[in-house]
Structure 1
Amino acid sequence: MMKKLSIFILSLLVLQACTTADPYTGEDKVRKSVKYGAAGAIVCGLIGATKNSKNARNAAAGCAAIGAGIGAYMDHQEAELRRELQGSGVQVVRQGDQIQLIMPSNITFNTAEFNIKSSFYPSLNSVAKVLYKYKDTVLDVIGHTDSVGNDQDNRELSNKRAYSVADYLAAQGVPGERLSPLGLGETQPIADNNTEYGRSQNRRVELYITAVQ
């Protein structure tokens, strides 16, 4: 019983550590990818904690098999996304069992606007086609800006851009309950905001695709 309780408390701490405050409501939000990943860890951990050693070993082997299956599932999805998005300007980055799509704002939006450029529709249509096919995933759509302008305006712009991408994907058939849009403004730069090139890299929308375990 104490072992089960310890695992449960640890899981709650993991969820708390991976929580992001919504800048508009003030409420804490847990990314869907974190939530589902932690849920899988809880299930496997409780099996091991409540069964005898033989069953615990079998449970661990089962969890490993599930993980291998997820890896293959994401491999196929990654390959299709790379094929569909070749030459589009969208970067496809693989991080373990998660796929990240990086969409620079210069190909998705006009300056200081959140309406998607019509020239980018074909690329988003390709993304939606693959996401619709691979249904066992959840999607975090995260908007970012450079450091030009005030923080509140940047958060609002990044949030609107994230919702624009999420809404478009939903309109192409990706269920809305799989999509979790959020704007983080200028808080997570990936390049130097003191150069034009760096600022162009920081203005982006990122889509994190994570398998439901």
Structure 2
Amino acid sequence: MFMHKHLIAAATAGALLAGCATTQNPYQDQDGSTNKTATYGTIGAIAGAAAGALINHDNRGKGALIGAAAGGAAGAGYGYYADKQEAELRKSMQGSGVEVQRDGNNIKLIMPGNITFATDSAEIASNFYGPLNSVASSMQQYQQNNIEIVGHTDSTGSHSYNLQLSQRRAQSVASYLQGQGVSAARMTTRGAGPDQPIASNATAEGRSANRRVEVNLTPIPGAQ
């Protein structure tokens, strides 16, 4: 009976730890749907606590706590992993001009043209080395996602030229990241030219917003 009380307490502690991955109700997303990260983390914590107690015969309470922590992280799956990567990217990109967006398990970095490349150039601007170094560091630390790099331009000039320019810019970013130790096998590049604007090309401000590079991080197959 004494061991069972410790097991229940350990499982409860692990469940609470897993639920702390979110700031709102740990079992519910902001839109009211079930929060899978918290739910599966809780299930993993309880299962881990039971396994830990069985494995550690000498100290079942301690074994349950260790098992709960490990099981909670594993049960939370890729969502927990992406939460940590997103938080660290937001911290490292502060003040750089790079925007970090999150959509489910996907993370997107939007790198505006005014800090990435000079006009009509695919050579990376020197003041952009710092943010790219931080991105490279994150890619090396978090290796459970694929990296798609997409170049975008405004509509000024011919369509074919802009497609080529956007592809060269995407490749420049990929080459730089590879030079910083990011595996080329994880990266793909694509030039979208002016085909995916996020603002109107009728104004200078809109054209500036459309000139950008996006880095899309998606789970590798089987990571979710």
Could you tell me the TM-score, scaled by structure 2's length? Answer: 0.65
Following the alignment from structure 2 to structure 1, what is the Cα–Cα distance between the partners of residues 78 and 189?
24
What is the match of residue 92 of structure 2?
84
SS in 2 for 1:71: helix
Change (3 A) 1:193 1:66: farther
Distance 1:205 1:105 in 2: 7
Name the residue aligned to 1:103.
111
Q: Return the offset for 1:188.
A: 0.5
Question: Does 1:172 pair with 2:161?
Answer: no
Among candidates 97, 119, 123, match of residue 115 of structure 1: 123
Superposition RMSD in Å: 1.4
* Cα shift at 1:68: 3.8
Residue 161 of structure 1: CA displacement?
A: 0.2
Work out the CA distance in 2 between the residues paired with 1:193 and 1:144. Answer: 12
Q: C-alpha offsets along residues 164-195 of structure 1, whole Å, 9 cap, x if unaligned?
A: 00110011011001000110101110100101
Deviation at 1:211, TM superposition (A): 1.6
The yes-or-no answer on 1:162 pairing with 2:132 is: no
Between the aligned partners of 2:103 and 2:109, the Cα distance in structure 1 is 11
Q: Which of residues 189, 205, 213 is equivalent to 1:205? A: 213
SS of 2:139 mapped into structure 1: helix
Residues in 2 aligned to 1:202 and 1:163: alpha-carbon distance in whole angstroms = 18
- With a CA cutoff of 8 Å and minimum separation of 6, indicate the structure with the bigger relative contact order: 1
Is the alpha carbon distance of 1:199 and 1:70 closer, same or farther for their aligned partners in structure 2, counting shifts above 3 Å? same
For residues 4-60 of structure 1, the C-alpha deviation after alignment (integer angstroms, 9 at most, x for no partner) is xxxxxxxxxxxxxxxxxxxxxxxxxxxxxxxxxxxxxxxxxxxxxxxxxxxxxxxxx
Equivalent residue, structure 2, for 1:144: 152
User: In structure 2, the residue corresponding to 1:142 is in which secondary structure?
Assistant: strand
1:153 match: secondary structure: helix
The one-letter amino acid of 1:94's match is: R
CA apart distance, 1:83: 0.7
Displacement of 1:155 in angstroms is 0.3
- Seen in structure 2, the aligned counterparts of structure 1 residues 67 and 89 have a Cα distance that, compared at 3 Å, is farther
**Cα shift readout 1:108-163 (whole Å, capped 9, x = no counterpart):** 10011000011110110000001100011100000000000000100000000000
Equivalent residue number for residue 72 of structure 1? 80
State the alpha-carbon separation in 2 of the partners of residues 108 and 144 from structure 1: 12
- What is the alpha-carbon distance in structure 2 between the residues aligned to residue 74 and residue 99 of structure 1? 8
Asked if residue 190 in structure 1 is aligned to residue 198 in structure 2, the reply is: yes
Give the deviation of 1:66 after TM superposition.
7.8
Inter-partner Cα distance in structure 2 for 1:86 and 1:173: 23
SS of 1:184 mapped into structure 2: strand
Aligned partners of 1:190 and 1:73: how far apart in 2? 29
78 and 197 in structure 1: CA distance in 2 versus 1, 3 angstrom threshold: same
What percent of counterpart residues are identical?
A: 52
Aligned partner of 1:75: which letter? D
Q: TM-score if structure 1 supplies the norm length? A: 0.68
